[in-house]
Structure 1
């Protein structure tokens, strides 16, 4: 029996669990010999194709798996385990303790291969769509509350009343669909965990969702669709009130005095930080927008960006942050229209319009051909079904259609095609 045939025999015996101790030792010795690497790679490919996986492994992946599996934390010689003569002169004389590896190595091969396949870029199967003629309902009060211990509470389904108790802070849901934090006993220190770190909660809204939060300091926050807010369960004894925002939110910050001054309130978001002492403002930091926009309605805020200068804006102004910071006058009613149940467009392009509509009606957007160059002005109520809201496109003579995946898995989408030609 030549060596390749012997390797194939030992491999088959090992993966079937029928290998004797002596055969197992011989199997590992052969694995440690570099000149037989190609033979083992071929056997691995064949085994994976015939069992769990339908695609083979590339050279780097196969070598990585073998190296990971046969690392020896406490190498021994073959003679220490068995009297079987070494089959290959010059072969590596140390290898993992086979008794520890017996029955586990092939499991590791499979698991390691699974990890490789999961981590490799997947070839996504194209989704097939068909025309959708149904109705799309508007979004509503939908959100998830994630507690400091990782517990997730669906606020849409939760009954009104107490949701949770974190130390001396009670969290409840009001009849108006709002999260409220209440101090249930005098606080002399920050609400912390076992590592003496502040505890945090996260409220997140899906596409088609919105929610209100009354923070422990009395600050009111309105979260728009596809947004999240991370904040401490208690601000007691903290030197500043710092929260983290993703998406869009409107803030009415409570004024808190601490010592000789007011306790600062800071909002960290993508590419910027906003510092306030007590004010009303809106922050839009959606990734699909061209910049982060902070619009001030009342008070004063300082907007800063790492690597760029900071700027203080006054009521009626907005800070537009991308590579730098630009200050301009703003129509505040347009910036906060979403909070008041309205889509308001003021010379908005098609991308601005569709970004807002897609988030609220939970749709993907696809542009085919040249995107329309229309500028949109006007208002649309957010409580209307999509067919009524999309009339803004029909009035602009823009062709569009709704599509849905044939397997009903995944989001529906709206396809925007070229503008109709005027007669």
Structure 2
């Protein structure tokens, strides 16, 4: 993009006069900042100062007190483009000028790298394979199932010679804090595991159902098989599907189990209660509901926020600081400690998960949140 054209569109964005195509232009240009850092040479110091002030205004607009009501949701497509353009300003003012404008209330003796593809596979016989250290190719055989690590890094289960209704044993994949991993199951369903999560599943499915157990968070793309429904068992609920795309957030340190549907249809089973989700809806079940959990349905859920982690982002919509830091703690393998009341603000926005910890915190630091990083502990003060 030519510098003159870029700045002209950016000015129109500031005035709220951009078209959807121009917003898409900014969103696409924003993606270059990861792959081609030299694009910053388009800007001089005066222009960087302008953008730095602009981002502070954007951040202030994105922070509200708990008493304020969130604004009505705009069209999702336009919302995404608008958010991408805002994040462009985050990066220009918050990251690319990090050294020049580093604030004194972000104190650290070290930085922490972001998470990566890391997981451990436990086979039915108890053998453990550290997947991030394993080379691409054949890893193991279990019954008539061969387990491979693809060149893309995914773990793939392939049926070679399995007798009908035979018991091939259960496997477990566990990601640590600071890890994520993708597995393609023997029925061709794909599961993306977020950090600090695990999934237990049979090497080959048999019987009436395809049943797996999940702790933590995962995104599922389930292969259609009407004759053998797919079940995901988590805390206080079972999700039943035929073939669909959905996300489940069932971390132990979250108060609510959230199931968000993107495509298809799923049925939520919790105690004696059931609910059927349509695309764009989210079910919520409180952890403290005991033997009779209630299912709440959010009809117009923010599906982009629910699966942002899978797409390489943190995304927040009116989230308090403790919610933000729980996600940071899992991805960077750190502990968060709060000194004083820090729940007066709500955050909305998006941050790349490929940033180091200090660069991610710097964006929050511009919102006048004070951090001290000591080893793998983050101390947050009001």
Structure 2 counterpart of 1:156? 132
Say which of 305, 316, 319 aligns to 1:345: 316
Compute the displacement of 1:132 (Å). Answer: 4.7
Answering whether residue 353 of structure 2 is matched by residue 382 of structure 1, we say yes
Compute the displacement of 1:171 (Å). Answer: 0.2
Structure 1 counterpart of 2:307? 336
Q: Is the 8 A contact 1:190 1:234 kept in 2?
A: no
Answering whether residue 337 of structure 2 is matched by residue 361 of structure 1, we say no
Compute the displacement of 1:287 (Å). Answer: 1.0
State how many pairs are aligned: 269
Q: Is the 8 A contact 1:334 1:344 kept in 2?
A: yes
Cα separation, 2, equivalents of 1:188 and 1:204: 28
Cα separation, 1, equivalents of 2:153 and 2:308: 19
Deviations 1:357-388 (A, max 9, x none): 11000001111111232111111010111111
Q: Is the 8 A contact 1:140 1:210 kept in 2?
A: yes
User: Secondary structure of 1:366's partner?
Assistant: strand
Say which of 184, 196, 208 aligns to 2:178: 208
User: Secondary structure of 2:273's partner?
Assistant: coil
Q: Is the 8 A contact 2:209 2:230 kept in 1?
A: yes
Answering whether residue 168 of structure 2 is matched by residue 190 of structure 1, we say no
Q: Is the 8 A contact 2:147 2:156 kept in 1?
A: yes
User: Secondary structure of 1:330's partner?
Assistant: coil
Structure 2 counterpart of 1:37? none
Structure 1 counterpart of 2:374? 403
Cα separation, 2, equivalents of 1:152 and 1:378: 39
Larger RCO (alpha carbons 8 Å, 6+ apart): 2
Q: Is the 8 A contact 2:157 2:185 kept in 1?
A: yes
Unaligned runs of 5+ in 2: 1-106
TM-score (norm 2): 0.69
Cα separation, 2, equivalents of 1:286 and 1:156: 23
Say which of 305, 311, 329 aligns to 2:275: 311
Compute the displacement of 1:352 (Å). Answer: 1.3
| Alignment of structure 1 residues 13-412 onto 2, 5 Å | 132-185=108-161, 187-192=162-167, 198-235=168-205, 237-257=206-226, 262-306=227-271, 308-322=272-286, 323=289, 324-328=294-298, 329-404=300-375, 412=376
Q: Is the 8 A contact 2:115 2:178 kept in 1?
A: yes
Q: Is the 8 A contact 2:110 2:374 kept in 1?
A: no
Unaligned runs of 5+ in 1: 1-130, 193-197, 405-411, 419-423
TM-score (norm 1): 0.62
User: Secondary structure of 1:390's partner?
Assistant: helix
Compute the displacement of 1:164 (Å). Answer: 0.2
Cα separation, 2, equivalents of 1:372 and 1:325: 27
Divergent runs of 4+, >4 A: none
Cα separation, 1, equivalents of 2:119 and 2:322: 26
Q: Is the 8 A contact 2:322 2:343 kept in 1?
A: no
Q: Is the 8 A contact 1:191 1:199 kept in 2?
A: no
Cα separation, 2, equivalents of 1:140 and 1:253: 24
Compute the displacement of 1:238 (Å). Answer: 1.6
Cα separation, 1, equivalents of 2:370 and 2:117: 31
Structure number with greater Rg is: 1
User: Secondary structure of 1:388's partner?
Assistant: helix
Cα separation, 2, equivalents of 1:349 and 1:331: 16
Cα separation, 2, equivalents of 1:330 and 1:281: 12
